[in-house]
Structure formats: C-alpha cells, structure tokens
Structure 1
Amino acid sequence: MHAIVTRTAAASEQTAANARQVIYRTQGRRQDWFTRLASPSGIGEKIKPFVFLDNFDVGSSGMPLSGMHPHSGIATVTVIISGNMNYRDTTGKSGTLSPGSVEWMNAGGGVWHGGGAAEGDRVRGFQLWIALPPEDENGPAHSQYLAPEQVQTHGPARVILGRYGNAASAVTTRASINYLHIRLKNGQRWRYQPPAGHTVGWVALYAGKLHTAGTVLQNELAVFEESTAALDFLAEGDTEFVLGSAIKHPHDLVLGYYSVHTDGYALERGEAEIERIRELVPRTA
C-alpha cells in the first residue's frame, strides 16, 4: 500500500513539473476603488495584446455619471461581477449594465466614456484594455453592451471574447483573442486548451483558490510561460476568475496618458482626435 501511495505522489509531482508553469504572479496595487493588476508599462508588455487589468469595487457617488475619460488605440472590456453600473460614451450610447453584462468599447482613433455604480448600489468587476492592431488603432470608435443572456457559455466558461467549445462571443475582433469568465465549484477540475498560436496566457482570480502547475492562486493575477500547452485547474472552494489567451501582439506599445498605440504618429493622431471630441463630453466629466 505504501508503495502505491508513493508512486501516486511521485506521478502527481511529475505532472506538476511538466505543467505549463506560472512565471509571474501579483496581488496588484490597491488604489482607492480598484486594484491595478497589470499596466502597459509593466507586465502588460509581456502579455500584450492584454495591456491593462483592474479589479474594481466602487460604490455610488451620488452623481448620475462620473469618471468620463478618453482613450485611443485600445479596446476596453468591462465584465460586471455584481451590482449595476451606469454608462455613457461619445458614440451616443448610454444605459445600465447588470450583473453578468459586458461592455466592449473599441476606442479606435479616439473616444470618451465613463460610468459608475447605479444610485445606492455597489458594482464589482474587471476592466481590461486590449491593444489594437495598426488597422484599427485610428479607426472609428464603436461600442457594444451585452446583457448577460447575450454572453454564450460552454461548460463553466462564459465567452466574453473569442470562441471556446461551441460558444462564441458576439463581439468581433481582428486579432485572435480569447477572454473567458469562469466559475468552478469546490473540487471541480477544468482544462483549457488554447487555440493554435495562443502563446500568451494568464488568469486573474476574483473568489476562491485555484490550484495549477503546483501552485495555489488567490486574489491575484498569474501569468503562464509562453506556450500553446493546455492549462489544468482545480478549484478550492467556489472559485471565480477571468482567463485570457491570445496570439502575442507583435507591435511596440507607445503610451499616452489613456492611450496605447503602435508608433508615435498613431499616438499623435489619437490624442488629436481626443481633443477634437472633448466638447462632446457631458458636463459631469
């Protein structure tokens, strides 16, 4: 009996050793109502096209709308975990996102948007920035707001961007990107096989603990070594997290204050467009 246990333990250790390893992990930096997990000047350079990630937790400000700010050269993706969030953007759209809803804002050559918790509410979720390819970084801004029932699922995964199993996102992207929202029950195992060419991979936990590659993750961002190998997970407690995988963005990240472009000329064009549409921004900005 002892020999069987030893072989089993050795096999488990060997499996962990052969797994795709975690090469970076962080609990981020808490800043008022959000935790900054990734930024373009830091780990975002390593996991591009994913260049920025916040885990936010914000209460109502008592204002109908707050925080209007500009972007260019990127798309922002907001996933609402709990609470209700009001939004408005300078493409002319406004409304309220409920739990499970998704905001896709393709800033293109320039846009302003903002929002906040609905009156008397508290909203929690993730906001992600994705670097756009040269064909889109100075193109027209456009946005999509998906209700929970518009987000397709396969197994434990809600498909925010890309495709997984027989589920696909309603959002179309030129780049090959998967962004999934996962919920696992205590003790549940899940394997993610990235699509061909998706060498970038990471997870960010919202709740519970996640066992993978011989490590235990909790309330943190973890980046995996570049590979197309599968990722294996085991949930400890009811676990909720987001996962990103993609073909790596091959371009430089040229940074403005709220903008990310592939070169200085594209950044100049984006910042000029932001200034042009400033007059359209509501007075609450």
Structure 2
Amino acid sequence: MGLSSPAVVRPIVRRTRGDGHGPITRLMSPSDLGQVLKPFVFMDMFDADRKTVQAMADMPVHPHSGVATVTVPVEGRFRYHDAENGSGTIGYGGVEWMRAGSGVWHGKELSADPDVARILGFQLWLSLPADQETAPPVSRYIEAQDIPRDGPAHIVVGRYNRVQSPVPAPEGINYLLVTLIPGQQWTYVPPAGHSVGWLALAEGELQSGESIQASELVIFETGETPITLEATSEQDAVFVLGSAVPHPHPLHLGRYSVHTSATALAVGERRIIELGKKLKEAGDRRTASGTIPVYR
C-alpha cells in the first residue's frame, strides 16, 4: 500500500533516532538539530514502565529560562496538582505547557498515574521570541477534552484550519498530535510562512515518499509544500508534527537556558540562581499527590 501519488512529495532531508539514555531518547537538542528547526530546539521521547517511572520521579528539580516546554503523553496518564491551576490528569490529547520565561525550577510537577503500566510521550522545548524570553513564567495543564481537533489531529499548539489551541504560545508555531489508523492518509498544509517542518513518530509506520519508522524524527525540506502521510503498518501511527515560521535569532545557550542574546541569557541565568536560593528556603513543597509544583 502506498501514497496515491500527490502532485508533489515534500522530501525528507534528515532523519535521526537520537541518543538513548534508559527510558529517555534525546531526538534533538539546541546544539544540533535545534539550530536547524528553531523555534523547535529540543525534543525528548520518553517510554517507561511503572518501575522506571518511579526511578524517573527521583530525578532532581532543575531550572530553565528563555524557553517554553510542551509535554504530551501518547500512552498513559500524568497527574498534576498546582495551587494556581488545580488538579487533574493529562492523557492522550492533553498537554502541560510551561513558559519558563524569566526563570523557573521544575521537574516534579507531573507524576505518573498509579493505574497505568506505561508512560510514552514527548517533551518539546520552544525558543521564545525576544518579547517573551524574560517575561513572567506561565503554566497551563490542559486536559484532552479541552484540546480541539481537526480530523485526526489534536491542535496542541497554534492554529490550524481555523482551529485554535488554548495554549498561550507565541504566534507562528504549530504543534499537532496525530493518530492515523492503518491505511489512512492525511495531508498537513502548512500555514503561510511556516517553512520549518518535521515530525517524530512514537508508534507504527508512515510513508511520505519514503518510509518513516517508530522512534524516528524526520525533517522535511524547507518550504511550504504540504506534507502527505499514510499509515502503512498494521498498527496505528501515532506522531507529533511541528511547523513554524523560522526563529530569526541566533541561539545563546546556557546549561538550562536558551535566549536570543547574550544579554538576555545573563538576565535569565541570574534569575534562576536567585530562584534556586529561594527554593531552598521554601522547604518541602510536595503535594498530597506527590507532585512538586513549578517554582517561579
């Protein structure tokens, strides 16, 4: 079974399986493919069973500035509990959005639902525009029923075919979660100006001029040519797809930060040091459900 000959196939120009470290595979970082795909600058795929999820929960909190993080589960569910955002669960189609902006410490604001045997999903970083990179932090936990759809796609970030995500993201960025059943075709038509295009496949197999396998991230040729995909294995193809207007600034990198200038990076790094000191003074902030809210 193959694609029914679209007029133009948008070529795949790069592909990667990243570097695996236990349950986490780093598909992209700001020092490698993030330079090509900015404003998309970092992507981890996580795949953990219940025992491994518990080990991941012991990882320490850490800081960020200048970026937004977007966490999307594909299988399993996360719990959240935050005084400013309430409590609930995020499963397939839901998202945690965190604009680090001027600085945050985080890493334990989500915990795996104890009833699930596996957590599979993605965490993405977006480099923020200059007017947002040192703005006050914002967190949102949006459950699946509140993320709108267009056909097989959940519009996690951005606007597509007049469907607007509730995530308060910068303009010019789309990030979709899509599932295609075996044999199903779907075409993504980028909005005007969205010349950056890529996808990462969690499960199944896709055809787009050539085969895309599970656990791969592929980059499409720069341009606004539509991306036509078909699910070609016997299981559903589950993937995230991003498109954007290119980020116009060089990336200034710290250990936990990405900014548009050396000056903004210095501001962000000073702020997260100050927050780190206050965080130590704050003591135990763990909630009854075991989460530790973002510190901002």
Q: TM-score, normalised by structure 2?
A: 0.84
Show the counterpart of 1:153: 149
Show the counterpart of 1:108: 101
Show the counterpart of 2:112: 117
Question: Looking at CA atoms only, which structure, 1 or 2, has the larger radius of gyration?
Answer: 1
Show the counterpart of 1:259: 257
Q: Spell out, residue by residue over 1:124-166, the C-alpha distance to the aligned partner (whole angstroms, 9 max, x if none).
A: 2100000000100011001111011011001000000011224
Instruction: Label 1:66 to 1:48 Cα distance change in 2 as closer, same or farther (>3 A).
Output: same
Instruction: Please tell me whether residue 98 in structure 1 is matched to residue 90 in structure 2.
Output: yes
Residue 57 of structure 1 and its aligned partner are, at CA, apart by 2.1
Instruction: Label 1:81 to 1:215 Cα distance change in 2 as closer, same or farther (>3 A).
Output: closer
- Residue 128 of structure 1 aligns to which amino acid in structure 2? L
Q: Spell out, residue by residue over 1:69-92, the C-alpha distance to the aligned partner (whole angstroms, 9 max, x if none).
A: 111000000001222324577x95
Q: Whole-Å Cα distance in 2 between the matches of residues 107 and 220 of structure 1?
A: 27
Contact 1:254–1:267 (8 Å) recurs in 2: yes
Instruction: Please tell me whether residue 178 in structure 1 is matched to residue 177 in structure 2.
Output: no
Q: Whole-Å Cα distance in 1 between the matches of residues 225 and 56 of structure 2?
A: 47
Q: Whole-Å Cα distance in 1 between the matches of residues 213 and 56 of structure 2?
A: 37
Contact 1:30–1:36 (8 Å) recurs in 2: yes
Q: Matched residue of 2:121: which SS?
A: strand
Residue 185 of structure 1 and its aligned partner are, at CA, apart by 0.7
- Residue 27 of structure 2 aligns to which amino acid in structure 1? L
Residue 275 of structure 1 and its aligned partner are, at CA, apart by 1.2
Q: Whole-Å Cα distance in 1 between the matches of residues 176 and 230 of structure 2?
A: 16
Unmatched runs of 5 consecutive residues or more in structure 1:
1-8
Show the counterpart of 1:50: 40
Q: Whole-Å Cα distance in 2 between the matches of residues 133 and 168 of structure 1?
A: 20
Q: Matched residue of 1:280: which SS?
A: helix
Q: Matched residue of 1:61: which SS?
A: helix
Q: Matched residue of 1:60: which SS?
A: helix
Residue 65 of structure 1 and its aligned partner are, at CA, apart by 7.1
Unmatched runs of 5 consecutive residues or more in structure 2:
287-291
Q: RMSD over aligned Cα, in angstroms?
A: 2.4
- Residue 117 of structure 1 aligns to which amino acid in structure 2? A
Q: TM-score, normalised by structure 1?
A: 0.87
Residue 226 of structure 1 and its aligned partner are, at CA, apart by 0.4
Instruction: Label 1:38 to 1:64 Cα distance change in 2 as closer, same or farther (>3 A).
Output: closer
Show the counterpart of 1:129: 125
Q: Matched residue of 1:266: which SS?
A: helix
Residue 169 of structure 1 and its aligned partner are, at CA, apart by 0.3
